[in-house]
Amino acid sequence: MRIHCLQHISFETPGSILEWAEQHGCELTVTRLFESEPSFPDPAQFDLLIVLGGAMSVHDEAVFPWLRAEKALLRTAIELGKRVLGICLGAQLLAEALGGRVYANAEPEIGFLPVQFAPEAAQHPLFRHVSLASTVMHWHGETFSLPAGATVLASSQACENQAFAYGTKIVGVQFHPELTEIIIDQMLTHDAHELIPAPFVQTEQQIRDEVYKLAESRKMLFGILDAYSINT
């Protein structure tokens, strides 16, 4: 399986996705959107498109002009029936491409917090392996409306749409299953100013103390990628 990642922030790398790809002998290429004049691939060059997270908004086209080209690639991949996984900002971009709306969440959600998977997740080929209740890493202030034809797969107390599926090939997750301890350290270094006192925002120390919970997310991610590799 040929995987292509769209990376928005220098330190928000593919993380555990790269580990899975190396273990399975899969080709993984990356468009680094933070570099000058990023080059987008022809959809024929990948089997699975993964859109990673980032601190910007889907609405920031005036600041980040490459967002327009990224959105066009995403729409093309959907039209061609490609496998697509959107993570955090990537899920918001995917929801928008499918006709949903992206807007400010009622509360920011940052830290290791629980999500509850819907019964529909157990029936979906990419999520049959997940536990109904999981603790995952969040870092977002925006959310999205569910696109027409999509199914909610997970929710949290702070955010109704934590994961959704559009058919069997297209999935968006608002949380971060790909993170590693190194990436979290960089996020805390660069974005600690976002850790404001709020009901669903952990402190820096709480996040650092709970990085061991990444093992649960890694297992979830690997199960999704395993399913992508055998379900066409």
Catalytic (active-site) positions: 88, 176, 178
Q: What are phi and psi of 167, to 5 degrees?
A: 75, -155
Long-range Cβ contact pairs of 122-125 (< 8 A, separation 24 or more): 124/151, 124/153, 124/165, 124/168, 125/168, 125/227, 125/231
Region of 137 on the Ramachandran plot (φ > 0 left; ψ -120 to 50 alpha; else beta)? beta
Helix 16-23 × helix 214-230 angle, to 10°: 50
Question: What size, in residues, is the chain?
Answer: 232
